[in-house]
A and B are shown apart, each in its own frame.
Chain A
Amino acid sequence: MTVAALHDPDSTGETCLQLTGISKRFGNLHVLDDVALSVRHGERRGIIGPNGAGKTTLFNVIAGELAPTSGKVHLYGREITRLPPHSRARLGLARTFQTTTLLPGLTVVENLVLSLQALTPTRFQCFVPRTRYRAFREEALRLLGQVQLDHCADWLVRALGHGEQRQVEILMALAQRPKLLLLDEPTAGLSAADAVLVTDMLRAYHRDVAMVLIEHDLSVVFNVVERITVLHYGRVVAEESVEGIHDNPVVQEIYLGGKL
């Protein structure tokens, strides 16, 4: 039994994210085809599928960077299909990118402060030095302390290792206490040890936030999520619990090649 299953939230819980009939075309290329997806409050969901299946495109549709050709996106019952990315973030949606996207020329704390002040009116304050806002810095240090990174609080982000940068990116997303976190291949390009750091961090996080996780490394998926959606050529071809995914014939045929 996985650790995630121990925490399985009430399966009758509220719906966090709901996609209905999402399609996305780039010219003649159908990248997403009638995708439906429903994620409950606090759920941990994995999305797997071969390269080019449309996983990142799906995230971009959910986060608002791409408008779907058709279909609707709902967050906690509210339709957000036409909202820009920043408005969705203000409704509690956070994300990490497939390639770590931080502000490399700023310090680790500055990156976190940007995240913390984003949802407050302080972001418009233009005549008071940042150093006056001690609470942001203290909260940033507290968050860094949770992953033993407080010693590099004042380093430039680019001085951190890949794994640490990933951790900072996830911390930035979690610092806003989002309701839904989208993680696009959070362990891609990390060493095995760094990948463990990241998965431990995700597993340990409390269950108020729903997470949708795109992953190539299936051991990561199985460690963190309880349900898995399989995307293939832009279509949802299977949705299964972690326990059931091994035996799903569609999955075995098209993705796992029967070797799982």
Chain B
Amino acid sequence: MISRSWRNIAIIGVLLVLAIAVPRLGLPAFYVSLLTQTWIYGILAMSLDLLVGFTGLVSFMQAAFFGIGAYVVAIGATRYHFVDFWLTLVVAVLVAGIAAAAFGALALRAEDAGFIIITLALNEIVWGLAYQWVSMSGGDNGITGFLRVNVGPFHTTDNSGFYYLSLTALIICLTLLVLMVRSPFGLVLVGARERPRRMAALGYNVWLFRYLALVIAAMFAAVAGVLFAYYNEFVGPGSLSLDTTVQVLIMVILGGTGTLIGPLLGAGILVFLSNALSDITQRWVLILGAVYVVTVMYAPDGIVGLINRLAARARSRRELSLAASAAPAGAFNPRGGPER
């Protein structure tokens, strides 16, 4: 039997080939653009999953860092004539990291509901700043008048070039995040989520690890924000609104928290759904709400969780029928055996 990890590698390989092939399949440009948005929101949703799924911090301020990244591009290009992509990216990531260091210090004074409320308030403050500080941010009108820049081999002015830039960024971010959750640091985050008292008793500064996770997640969100600004050649306060925060949370929960790949799936579903539905009805947010309620009720661990559960059930049924036909009755492990 092929081992599961090889099967996973094969699946990832096929998906990757498909993703690379998309712009050459002659699909309408519309779909290429929706997928580009999926990759960008995917980075944002995965960054939030590091907090919600792995660290156990339900942060409502992830859009703020996404927006900060986007505004750094727009303000940098229009006011300070930053046109170098890499420099802009580094500045955006640093500014978001510094903002997260400040906001994190405030938000982590509280836990649970208190944390949620503080992050919500901080996100509103950043939004208010973007909305009100017209001389800097352009207020409600946002900022236009900057253009995509070419990045290395990517000719971003045509949409397939931007598609490949976003896909590359997604793959790099996904790889880094997967490494992180599988690292010793990642184990500490999970420990701090599950049993903070135990972790403190072992000598871990639980606060510090949560704080670091918050800052790291904000930096990934800023990468998504930078891509988003260039993609649209426009930045407005909507990018860091509460609306965006909530939508990203829904992507994470819909896809499955603590899976990274689930939030990417959730991002795709929301991007495609919002485009399909907003053509038909103004009330697509309502439908989104309904999708969300159905998920929470029937797949509380998201789509990836649901798939895993169905697969586990199919597997155990297969093993049971095998065991019934072949194994002696005593072979059943009384403890239920290792669960993994």
Instruction: Please report A residues at the B interface, Cβ cutoff 8 Å.
Output: 63, 65, 84-86, 89-90, 94-95, 97, 101-107, 110, 113-115, 117-119, 122-131, 133, 152, 154-156, 158-159, 161, 172, 176
A-facing residues in B188-236 (Cβ within 8 Å): 188, 190-191, 194-195, 197-206, 216
Contact residue range for chain B?
20 to 34
The 8 residue pairs across chains A and B that have the minimum distance between CB atoms? A89-B203, A126-B185, A85-B200, A118-B203, A118-B202, A155-B338, A156-B339, A101-B198
A-facing residues in B163-209 (Cβ within 8 Å): 176, 179-180, 182-188, 190-191, 194-195, 197-206
Distance to closest chain B CB from A121 (angstroms): 10
Establish whether residues B203 and A86, one from each chain, have CB atoms under 8 Å apart when the complex forms.
yes
**18 sample A-B contacts, Cβ–Cβ < 8 Å, listed by A number:** A63-B201, A84-B205, A86-B200, A86-B203, A86-B205, A86-B206, A97-B197, A103-B194, A106-B191, A123-B185, A125-B184, A126-B179, A154-B338, A154-B340, A155-B337, A155-B339, A158-B339, A159-B335
Question: Which residues from B are CB-within-8-Å of A101?
Answer: 195, 197-198, 201
Kindly state whether residue B152 has any CB partner on chain A within 8 Å: no
| Interface SS, B side | helix
Instruction: Please report B residues at the A interface, Cβ cutoff 8 Å.
Output: 176, 179-180, 182-188, 190-191, 194-195, 197-206, 216, 335-340
With CB as the reference atom, state the residue of chain B lying closest to A158: B339
Question: Which residues from B are CB-within-8-Å of A154?
Answer: 338, 340
In the complex, what distance in Å separates the CA atom of A126 from the CA atom of B213? 11
Question: Which residues from A are CB-within-8-Å of B340?
Answer: 107, 154-156
**Given A103-B190, A106-B191, A127-B176, A86-B183 contact (CB < 8 Å):** no
In the complex, what distance in Å separates the CA atom of A176 from the CA atom of B303? 40
Establish whether residues B183 and A126, one from each chain, have CB atoms under 8 Å apart when the complex forms.
yes
Establish whether residues A159 and B191, one from each chain, have CB atoms under 8 Å apart when the complex forms.
no
With CB as the reference atom, state the residue of chain A lying closest to B202: A118
With CB as the reference atom, state the residue of chain B lying closest to A129: B182
Distance to closest chain A CB from B151 (angstroms): 23
Question: Which residues from B are CB-within-8-Å of A133?
Answer: 184
**Given A102-B195, A156-B338, A130-B187 contact (CB < 8 Å):** yes
Establish whether residues A113 and B187, one from each chain, have CB atoms under 8 Å apart when the complex forms.
yes
Question: Which residues from B are CB-within-8-Å of A125?
Answer: 183-185
Question: Which residues from B are CB-within-8-Å of A84?
Answer: 200, 205
Question: Which residues from B are CB-within-8-Å of A155?
Answer: 335, 337-340
Among B201, B206, B335, B338, the one with the most A-chain Cβ atoms within 10 Å of its Cβ is B201
